Amino acid sequence: MARLLLIEDDNELVSMVAEWLSSEYVVDVAVDGQAGLDKLRDASYDLIVLDWRLPKISGIDLCKQFRSEGGKTPIIMLTGRSSVADREEGLDGGADDYLVKPFSMRELTSRLRALRRRGTLVSNQLLVSGDITLDVSKHRVTKGDIPVHLLPKEFALLEFLMRHPDEVFSSDNLLARVWSTDAETGANAVRTSIKRIRQKLDDEGCDDSRSIIENIPRVGYRLKSRS
């Protein structure tokens, strides 16, 4: 059974999450950031569920420290912060995914399963799917050895989809997760960005069925993981 470390100081939430996940994971608990970091240094885990606001060491600082020490374990961050800037800070700090409180236990389970099966994530800063590579730290995308220029929103959308391969997202979901609330909104903004990404990254003559981003009619979009 996979081993998971839950780092959270809300006792009620700890009890709920630990009980919910106990059928799939061996759950260890740390109630502050320092205790969590100590456990990560002493033991190996398959997944980490990390609260942003913690005593002693904050979740974001713990995440940065863990990554700076070479830690590769996938991290999903729990946070009450929902702005795009906050989500960017969490992901840039080393988290692989985030979940805004309050959240559904079923969604937490789904996110954790996705992190475990993900095959396109090489590191938090380098995402790979087939011949497409996205370097977060250098803000660079390449297809094979050829650099590809993406507009900022196209880059952010591609990064999000590459962090969630084979998961389906509606236009509304993508707007909420990638677009800021004061930016242009509407399904057309999503369609336009996806169309441009396809034009830049799909193989020449590629039809919709072989596109890097699949359109599922009346459902949404997903990036198909490719080895």
pLDDT digits 0-9 by tens, 164-176: 888 888 888 888 7
CA–CA distances in Å: residue 201 to residues 21, 134, 136, 189: 38, 12, 17, 18
- Indicate if the pLDDT at residue 117 is higher than 80: no
Q: Structure pTM?
A: 0.53
pLDDT reported for residue 73: 86
- Indicate if the pLDDT at residue 182 is higher than 60: no
Taking residues 180-194, what's their average pLDDT?
72
CA torsion angle for 165, 44, 126, 75 (degrees, to 10)?
Answer: 60
CB 113 within 8 A of CB 85: no
Q: How many CB atoms lie within 10 A of CB 129?
A: 21
- Indicate if the pLDDT at residue 121 is higher than 50: no
Least Cα distance to 159 among 227, 108, 84 occurs for 84
CB 76 within 8 A of CB 99: yes
- Indicate if the pLDDT at residue 183 is higher than 50: no
The HSE-up count of residue 102 (CA atoms within 13 Å, CB side) is: 4
